[in-house]
Structure 1
Amino acid sequence: MTVVPAAIAGDTVGHSVGHHFGPKILTTRPLRRHEQRSEKAQDFIRRRGPEAGLPAPLHRLLRSMMPALAGISLMDYRRFLLFNALGGLVWGVGFTLLGYFAGSAYQRVEAVVGRVVAIAVAVIVVVGGLFVWRVRRRRQADSPDPKNRAG
C-alpha cells in the first residue's frame, strides 16, 4: 500500500516548505492584513502541538494546510512526524477500507435503490399525468369557448 507513505512524505514536504518559506510568505502584502489571525493560529498549533492536526486527515482543507502551518509554527519535526504518521495511517487505511466495503456493497445497494427509484419514478409519472389530465379537463370545462368544452 503506497497511500500511507505517500501521505506521510507529502506532509513532510509541506512541513519543510512551511518551516523554510512560511515566515517570508506571511509577510507578503496579501497576508499582512491577516497577521493577527495568523499569529493566533500559530500560537494554537504551538500550544496544542500535533494533537491539533490529528483530525486534519479527515478534512480535505485541513489535510492540505496543516503540515505547512505546523512548519510555519516551527513545530518540532519529530513530534510532527509521529502524529503525521499516525494520521496518515488512519487516513490511508481508513479510506481504502471504506472504498473497499462501499464497492463490495454496491451491487446490493444498487439492486435495492434501483427498484426503489424505478417505483418512485413510476409513481411520479402516473401522479403527474393524472394531475395534468385533471387540470386540462378543468380548464376545458371552465372555458367560455364552446369548441373547447368536453362533452
Structure 2
Amino acid sequence: MSWISDHLLTLNGTLVLIAVFLLPALESSVFLGFVIPGETAVVIGGVTAYNGTNPLWAVLLASVAGAIVGDSIGYAVGNRWGDALLTRIPHKLLKPAHIRQSKDLIARLGGRAVFAGRFAAALRALVPGLCGLSDMRYRTFAVWNMLGGAVWATAFTLIGYFAGASWHRIESYANTASWILVGVIVVAVAGLLYLKHRSEKRASARFEDDPEDGTRTGAATGAGSDAADSVDQPTG
C-alpha cells in the first residue's frame, strides 16, 4: 500500500483531508476495506499534520467523521440489503470464513463487537453491515460506533503525527498489527464458543441424569408404600 501513501503525500492539504474522510467512510459502506485499509489515509493525514500541511485538529475531525459516517452507512446497507449483497461479493474479496468469524463476534459480544471490529482490518468492513443484518438496535450500534470510531481515528492520526518521517515503517507495523488482532479475536471467540458448548453439554448431561434419579426414587417410594399397606392391612 506504499504507493497509495506516496500518492497521498503529493496532494495538497484539502485533498488529503478529503481522502482522510473518504477512505474510512468507504471501508464498510462499499467494502473498500478489503482492498485499501482506511488507516492508510489516516496515518498519512497525521504525517501531513506533522509536516505542517494540515492542522492536526482538521485531520482528527475528518478521520473521526469518516469512520463514524462510513460504519453508519454500512449498518444501514446491511439492514436493508445485507443477504442479497453477501451472495454477490466474490469469495476472493469476502471469504465465508470472515463472515462466520464476524457473526460469531457479534453473537458473543453484542455492541462491543462494533468496537472490537473497528481495530481489525478484515472485520472492520464486515461488522457494521452484519450488525444491521442481525437486527442489532441502532442505538446500541451508534454508541459503540462513535466510541470505536473516535478512538481508532485518534490513535492512527497520532501515530502518523508522532512517527513523522518514519511513517513508512509505522504504516507497515499498523497493517500487520491489524491482521494479528484479527487472529487474536478469532481465537478468543472460538475459545469462548467452545467453552460455552462444553458448559451446555454438561448441563444437558446433568438434566438427562436427573429424571432417571427421580424415576428410581419414585420407584423406591412406591415400593415402600406398598410394603406399608401390606403391613397395615388386617389379616383374615
Could you tell me which runs of 5 or more consecutive residues in structure 2 were left unpaired when the two chains were aligned: 1-60, 168-236
Match of 1:100 among 161, 164, 186: 161
How far apart are 1:53 and its partner, in Å?
2.6
Check whether the contact 2:78–2:130 (CA below 8 A) recurs between aligned residues. Answer: yes
2:150 is aligned to 89
Normalised to the residue count of structure 1, the TM-score between the two structures is 0.56
Percent identical among aligned pairs is 40
**Equivalences for 1:2-151 in 2 at 5 Å?**
2-25=62-85, 42=103, 44-103=105-164
Partners of 2:122 and 2:108 lie apart in 1 by: 21
Partners of 1:85 and 1:2 lie apart in 2 by: 14
Partners of 2:157 and 2:138 lie apart in 1 by: 27
Aligned residue pairs: how many? 104
Q: Which amino acid aligns with 2:141?
A: F
Check whether the contact 2:102–2:127 (CA below 8 A) recurs between aligned residues. Answer: no
How far apart are 1:27 and its partner, in Å?
6.2
Q: 1:43 to 1:74 in 2, by over 3 A?
A: farther
Check whether the contact 2:106–2:113 (CA below 8 A) recurs between aligned residues. Answer: yes
Q: 1:41 to 1:2 in 2, by over 3 A?
A: closer
Give SS of 1:95's match.
helix
How far apart are 1:69 and its partner, in Å?
1.0
Check whether the contact 1:54–1:83 (CA below 8 A) recurs between aligned residues. Answer: yes
Give SS of 1:54's match.
helix
How far apart are 1:59 and its partner, in Å?
1.6
Check whether the contact 1:42–1:72 (CA below 8 A) recurs between aligned residues. Answer: no
Check whether the contact 2:102–2:123 (CA below 8 A) recurs between aligned residues. Answer: no
Could you tell me which runs of 5 or more consecutive residues in structure 1 were left unpaired when the two chains were aligned: 107-151
Partners of 1:44 and 1:56 lie apart in 2 by: 8
Q: 1:3 to 1:64 in 2, by over 3 A?
A: same
Check whether the contact 2:115–2:148 (CA below 8 A) recurs between aligned residues. Answer: yes
Q: Which amino acid aligns with 2:110?
A: G
Q: 1:14 to 1:102 in 2, by over 3 A?
A: same
Check whether the contact 1:7–1:92 (CA below 8 A) recurs between aligned residues. Answer: yes
Structure 1 residue runs of 4 or more that deviate by more than 2 Å after TM superposition: 23-28, 37-44
Q: Deviations over 1:62-91 (max 9, x none)?
A: 111111111111111110010000000011
Q: Deviations over 1:81-133 (max 9, x none)?
A: 10000000011100001111111677xxxxxxxxxxxxxxxxxxxxxxxxxxx
Check whether the contact 2:111–2:141 (CA below 8 A) recurs between aligned residues. Answer: yes
